[in-house]
Amino acid sequence: MSNERENNLDDEFDPNEELTAEYLIKMFGGAPFDEGHEEEGVTDEELSERELAERERLDNTDWRAEADEVYEELMTRVGEAQPEPRLGPTRRACQLLGDIHEAWPMIHITGTNGKSSTARLTESILRAHGLRTGLLTSPHLIRLNERIGIDGAPITDERLVANWRDIEPFIAIVDNELEVAGEPRLTFFEALTVLAFACFTDAPIDVAVVEVGMGGEWDSTNVADGSVAVFTPISLDHQDRLGNTVAEIASTKAGIIKPSAAVVTAAQVPEVMDQLRRAAQLQEATLYSEPEKFAVTADQMAVGGRLVSVRGIAGQYDDLPVALAGDYQAHNAALAIAAVEAFFGGERQLDYDTVAQGTASAVSPGRLDLIGTDPAVIIDAAHNPHGAAHLAQAMTETYNFDELTVVLGVLQGKSVAGIIKPLASIASRLIITESDSPRAIPAWELADEVREIIGEEASAQKRLEIIERAQDAFDTARREATDAAVLADREGRPLSAGVLITGSITLVGEAAALALEDGWKAQATPPDDETEQLDEQEDEW
């Protein structure tokens, strides 16, 4: 915005005027997402010159650096671990931007584990049906762009920056209003929600698939009304925020159920199911639960993932390719299929080939994700007992290494006992470390807790070691796995050795970034004429 325009706004602004969307549109000359708005009094020749100058400016902009700056600005706000239990400020920002939270239908997903994978499967199936999709998941592994997907790809740096700059004045208005009221300004996740919704509206999209940040009832994403509310398995997590029992946690998560919506839920323990059933009845919503209304009827490992058969709400889908590892992904796929069926009305079977295309193309970074070869390095964002138990089972089924080194880092407030017990059962060696997060449990403190939980004898058997710096821990684990494989080969005996990095998303994110930077994953050498193009793609990412 030019200085002249800013001065005009200062002259026209009435501090006593209520800041409605209509008043702001009058002040700014149109909503940020209006199409076809042109300034009066500009000739075609002048407009062309301005367009050329603007085009040159855009071409010379370092959008990656600008996007990183947006992330730094968001990081100055209160973090995701300390959400404000409120909806008003997020709704206010969305309304000032022209009710962007009402611009598209939404499938809203909550639960304890499996949210991101279910969201990605749901989005992929919708996109296979020809719909332009928006996807909001959290957290990210390497860059903020990963959280906001447009039509199956992370949002570009340019669109991320452009949308943030568009909404920034409105974010500032809400921040100022909160400050006057004596309340904290918009948090990281509240501002991110507004940004994501703005990106969806700007795209534009046909349907949004939105994963809650924490809980449900007062999560900032709940300002939008989901026509379908999806519940992955609910168990204990974030007890300091959501409640000390699964029933209390389920009650909070059930807050995403809106009047007359469809409710699609994975199999739940009775206390959770009672809460969801009660909330659905109060909202006169239609409830579809596993296994009564839909179920996995067959599941087997296959090359590159699984073959899954699903009895859906409206039809049977046999031998679907699911390109995600872990037996729990079969249930995530069934949940996603049921969610899409419910979105389309729940009365007609989906086209099999379209569903198969969606399940086969879905990916879920950071979930049983192979990021390195020679040696094999797997990352998984399991950070609670339920996730760790599923991870241990999936590792045994999918990889079944002869020797497995587990590199573990956990954040404050998590159940170390619930995480380490299943992981220790599959580990040949334990390396305890810590991520760069200020919430990371110090490695020496975590190691003491692990020793107390599994015992000194088991700790000695698993050669438990403290390596405080995460990169050093990764390097040690990879080097030892390589050395073990080389020695076994020399001795003529078969041996598969691998590394599993897990326990917190921040640790997993650091590993993913290093793997990309240092080339942990072996790649075939491309022909000479393709090398330059691949280098350019890597630079862009």
Q: What is the pLDDT of residues 418-454, one digit of tens each?
A: 999 999 999 999 999 999 999 999 999 999 999 999 9
**Confidence grade of residue 33 (pLDDT, cut at 50, 70, 90):** low
With tokens 């708005």, the residue in question is 37
Residue with tokens 């821990």: 473
User: d(Cα 138, Cα 145) in Å, to the nearest integer?
Assistant: 11
The pTM for the full model equals 0.84
- Reduced to 3 states, what is the DSSP secondary structure of residue 500? strand
In angstroms, the CA 264 to CA 289 distance is 6
Residues 267, 290 contacting (CB under 8 angstroms): yes
Tell me the per-residue pLDDT of 44-88, one tens digit each, with 9 for 90 and over: 555 666 676 766 777 778 999 999 999 999 999 988 778 889 999
**Residues 311, 349: Cα–Cα separation, whole Å:** 10
Across 39-43, 90-94, 202-206, 357-361, least confident range:
39-43
What is the four-CA torsion angle of 377, 382, 386, 390, rounded to 10 degrees? -20
Q: What is the Cα–Cα distance from 506 to 524, expressed in whole angstroms?
A: 30
pLDDT digits (tens, 9 = 90+) for 399-422: 889 999 999 999 998 999 999 999
The DSSP output letter for 355 is H
Whether the Cβ atoms of residue 379 and residue 406 lie closer than 8 Å to each other: no
Does residue 218 carry a pLDDT above 60? yes
Picking from 338, 289, 296, 334, the residue whose alpha carbon sits closest to that of residue 314 is 338
pLDDT of 23 above 80:
no
Question: DSSP H helical segments within 373-469, as ranges?
Answer: 385-398, 416-424, 443-454, 456-461
Stretch 292-315: mean pLDDT? 94
pLDDT at site 49: 67
Condensed to tens digits (0 to 9), the pLDDT of residues 127-181 reads 999 999 999 999 899 999 999 999 999 999 999 999 999 999 999 999 999 999 9
Residues of the chain above pLDDT 70, percent: 86
pLDDT bracket for residue 460 (50, 70, 90): very high
- What's the whole-number mean pLDDT along residues 95-124? 96
Q: Is 116 helix (H, G, I), strand (E, B) or coil?
A: helix
pLDDT mean across residues, the chain: 88
Apex 263 CA angle, 262 and 267, nearest 5 = 150
User: Comparing 235 with 188, which gets the higher pLDDT?
Assistant: 188
Other beta carbons within 10 Å of 438? 10
pLDDT at 20 over 90: no
